[in-house]
Amino acid sequence: MTVPPASPTSPLARSSAAPVLVLAAHPDLAHSRVNLALQQALSALPGVHLRDLYALYPDYHVDVAAEQAALAASRLVLWLHPIHWYGPTPLLKLWMDEVLSFGWAYGPSGHALVGKDLWLVLSTGGSEHSYHPSGHNRYLMDAFWPPYEQTAALTGLRFLPPLVLHGAHRATDGEIAAHVQTVVQRINTWPDWPEIAEMEPCPQCEAPMGERPEA
Q: What global pTM score does this model have?
A: 0.87
Using alpha carbons, list the distances in angstroms from residue 186 to 23, 50, 57, 190. Answer: 16, 16, 28, 6
Q: Which residue has the higher pLDDT, 100 or 214?
A: 100
Residue 114 lies in a domain: yes
Q: How far is CA 167 from the centre of its chain?
A: 19
Residue 6: the pLDDT is: 45
Residue 135: the pLDDT is: 83
CATH code where residue 59 lies: 3.40.50.360
Residue 135: burial class (beta carbons within 10 Å; 0-12, 13-18, 19+): middle
* Domain range enclosing 63: 11-208
Q: Which tens digits make up the pLDDT trace of 200-213?
A: 777 666 666 666 66
d(CA 27, CA 51): 13
Residue 132 lies in a domain: yes
Task: Provide the mean pLDDT of the chain.
Answer: 88
Average pLDDT in the 14-27 region? Answer: 79
Would the pLDDT of 8 be above 60?
no
How many domains are there within the chain?
A: 1
Residue 2 lies in a domain: no
Instruction: Enumerate residues 6+ apart whose C-beta is below 8 A from 8.
Output: none
Residue 102 lies in a domain: yes
Average pLDDT in the 26-41 region? Answer: 95
Residue 115 lies in a domain: yes
Residue 76: the pLDDT is: 98
Residue 1 lies in a domain: no
Q: Which tens digits make up the pLDDT trace of 165-186?
A: 998 989 999 999 999 999 999 9
Residue 96: the pLDDT is: 98
Q: Which residue has the higher pLDDT, 6 or 71?
A: 71
Q: Which pLDDT band, with edges at 50, 70 and 90, does 142 fall under?
A: very high
